[in-house]
Amino acid sequence: MLVATLLLRPSSGTTGDGGGASPARPLPAAQPELHGDDVLLEEETLSWFHPGRWYPVRIGDVIRSRYQVLVKLGFGSVSTVWLCRDLRRHRYVSLKIYETGHRQASNETVVLHHLTSLVRDGKGSRLVRTSYGDFEIPGLVGPHVCLVYDPLCMTLEDLREYSGGKLPTYALKPLLQVVLRGLDYLHTVAHVVHTDIQANNIMLSTQEANFWDELVEEEWTSPSPRKVVGDRVIYESKDVDIPDDGMPVICDFGEAKVGDGPFIGEVMPDLYRAPEIILYIPWNEKIDIWGFGLMVWDLLEGKHLFNKRLPSRDASRGAHMARIVTLLGNPPPDFLKRSVASVEFFDEQGNPKEELRSLNTGGSLEEEEEALEGEDGELFLAFLRRTLQWRPEDRPTARELLDDPWLKSTEAEEDVRGDARQTS
């Protein structure tokens, strides 16, 4: 099944101490596949990877006399993530271990403290990842920030790849509705702007009692391939199955901002930047709506709507702005007046300058859209255009998007699928 039972169940709860600490699990007897020095694995592939700044985790380690490392779940640009057993509370947790000294570590810690301090509403709050706590462990060149979470399964990007490169609408729309509820909670209750809404930062949770047991047993019987470099081991991350009860949860707050704004400064991934980011205009939570629209496009179409990536973030500003003009038309004059940088790209009448017009940026939304046809395609493009507006105030809120005609057509699609099953 694609996503077995689509939604809606709360994320896994906290168990009590249950007596004394569990003993650490002995290391697996099975021998893993070893890669040679000519192979770059996972975090080693990052151009900025420096082994002295990344904590040398080993499967079987017990961190802080409490968290036994069992499986590598993944890695990011500045951290690795591990499935651990909390030997005191007798439960599985996820441990995110940051590179030494990275600003995202301190920022995410602040945001998570804020989210954890809020009264849990049992609805939107369960759709936003919070932590059990944080601590530091010593490293070669400085301490590493460690964040403790409930473990989560795969990302929506993983799910898209598993589904052959595109997510069908009958699976995608229910997921998006849940993400929007979590985003509404972030914006209206928590007053947090995520700034990095994309498919890699939305993960599926599970309450299946034996889900993590099975993954650990798989690691113990068939250890992950790895590479040994001196006293350091680089592991391949274990593939995690799709949970039957998977519910999307918004994660990764390393770039998030707390408050109502407006904020200033560079945020958002290069290919996801809203026009106010390119033009250095103060921004607010509506950049998350822009990012949400682009994420939906990626998941449905299996390709980026913006795909011009030049050597540097600054160098690609012109190409990115030219693509926005191609998709949305010329910006409103009152919007350009908010920016001191608009003269780089537009004349006094708000028309693109020759350099911008000369850039080849691809086709229109209608030309690029390939996944849908007929009325559903028209509704989808109308939905997308609502999220991709020049002026932030013209974009809907997350709560308003929940009533979008394209997203609300899920029930009819489910009826069609049900009829098909009965006749098959």
Please tell me the distance from the alpha carbon of residue 406 to that of residue 293, in angstroms, as a whole number: 13
SS3 256: coil
189 burial via Cβ count (<10 Å: 0-12, 13-18, 19+)? middle
Please state the separation of Cα 41 from the chain's center in Å.
Answer: 21
Please tell me the distance from the alpha carbon of residue 266 to that of residue 168, in angstroms, as a whole number: 33
The residue length of the chain stands at 424
Cβ atoms of residues 109 and 84 within 8 Å: no
Catalytic residue among 158, 184, 196, 298: 196
DSSP 51: G
Residue whose tokens read 């205009």? 281
SS (H, E, C) 270-301: HHHCCHHHHCCCCECCHHHHHHHHHHHHHHHH
**Residue 92 dihedral angles phi and psi, to the nearest 5°:** -85, 140
Greatest extent of the chain over all pairs of C-alpha atoms, in Å:
73
Please tell me the distance from the alpha carbon of residue 243 to that of residue 153, in angstroms, as a whole number: 7
Angle (CA) 94-269-294 rounded to 5° is: 95
User: Which amino acid is present at 89?
Assistant: R
Answer yes or no: 196 catalytic.
yes
DSSP 65: T
Long-range contacts of 346-355 (CB under 8 A, 24+ apart): 352/322, 352/325, 355/318
SS3 211: helix
Which has the closest alpha carbon to 145: 105, 103, 86?
Answer: 105
Residue whose tokens read 């998570």? 112
Which residues, 6 or more positions from 239, have their beta carbon under 8 angstroms from its beta carbon?
A: none
Please tell me the distance from the alpha carbon of residue 186 to that of residue 340, in angstroms, as a whole number: 30
Q: How far apart, in Å, are the Cα atoms of 186 and each of 143, 193, 388?
A: 30, 7, 20
The set of catalytic residues is 196
